[in-house]
Amino acid sequence: MNRDALPEPALDGTPAAARPSAPDGHEVLPVLGVPVSDMHMDDAIRWLDQLMSRGAKSHAVFFVNAHTLNLACDDDAYRAVLQRADRVYGDGTGVRWAARLLHGRRLRDNVNGTDVVPRLFNDLAGRGLRYFLLGNTPERIERAAAHARATYPGWVQAGFHHGYLDDVDPAAVIEKINASGAHLLLVGMGNPRQERWIARHLPQLRVPLCMGTGGLFDYWVGDLVRAPAWVRRIGYEWLHLLIRQPHKARRYLIGNPLFLLRVARSRLLGLDARRS
């Protein structure tokens, strides 16, 4: 893939120049061929609010961390899905380190899905906005939905559906989502499945904002617990997750060094130089 090509159209075919602009403080920092938007959390929330308020078409918003970007390096098609999103935000220490190594600057904020979704629910409560949950097993998505209803009463839960869709007619699922009148679709299927699903079905979806949320539903059902704020501030949430999910040791102990090696190579070869 030619990483020096002009930006590709959004997932729904909209040219990059026609995509909604951020209110302020927005700059794109390429990381391993993926355009990461550098914004303060408050600005990101305002921009996402604008997307839901317009309601004219569906937009795809993704969050990438070191593991996600490793997957994208190994899969050109998946990297293209991320490149064509309406916006990609950086999640975690690895992406922050990459921004420093590649561009000599700190990302303004750690704009990750686990923090963005609660901010959206809290900041935009009481406006009649509707959301739909897609992902996880039938039993667990029911528990996640119950948690969301109890925790965020200022929004309307328009519906939910499990994420085991291999034997389910996708048209029926999409029709259920569209009929719900949701302003926000949260898809928690893990990477790269959730981004691929959104990309494949975005033209048929009538939801203004579609977001891949990774393990958010696992937090909602109680399987995962956020690291203390001070651990997140110093950039060691990945270690907290590793302790709680030792089966992902390969992802962190091998994947993180591999990611940094790839970033160093990109810097050496100038592959992620910013373009005006």
Tens-place pLDDT, residues 155-176: 999 999 999 998 899 999 999 9
Determine the pLDDT at residue 248.
Answer: 61
Determine the pLDDT at residue 163.
Answer: 94
Return d(Cα 184, Cα 130) in angstroms, integer: 6
Return d(Cα 185, Cα 136) in angstroms, integer: 14
Distinct helix (H) and strand (E) counts, the chain: 13, 8
Determine the pLDDT at residue 201.
Answer: 97
User: Helix 66-74 vs helix 76-83: angle between axes, to the nearest 10 degrees?
Assistant: 120
Determine the pLDDT at residue 254.
Answer: 84
Q: CB–CB of 31/102 below 8 Å?
A: yes
Determine the pLDDT at residue 9.
Answer: 39
Determine the pLDDT at residue 54.
Answer: 83
Cα separations (Å) of 54 from 88, 209, 227? Answer: 20, 10, 35
Q: Kindly report the backbone phi and psi dihedral angles of residue 132, in degrees, each rounded to the nearest multiple of 5, phi listed first.
A: -130, 135
Return d(Cα 184, Cα 143) in angstroms, integer: 19
Return d(Cα 61, Cα 6) in angstroms, integer: 20
Secondary structure of 195-235 in HEC code, one letter for each residue:
HHHHHHHCCCCCCCEEEECCCHHHHHCCCCCCCCHHHHHCC
Determine the pLDDT at residue 150.
Answer: 97
Determine the pLDDT at residue 92.
Answer: 87
- Give the contacts of 133 (CB within 8 A, at least 6 positions apart): 141, 144, 145, 148, 157, 159, 160, 161, 186, 188, 217
Ranges of the chain with pLDDT below 50: 1-10, 12-24, 276
Residue the block writes with tokens 């590709």: 8
Determine the pLDDT at residue 236.
Answer: 59
Determine the pLDDT at residue 3.
Answer: 32
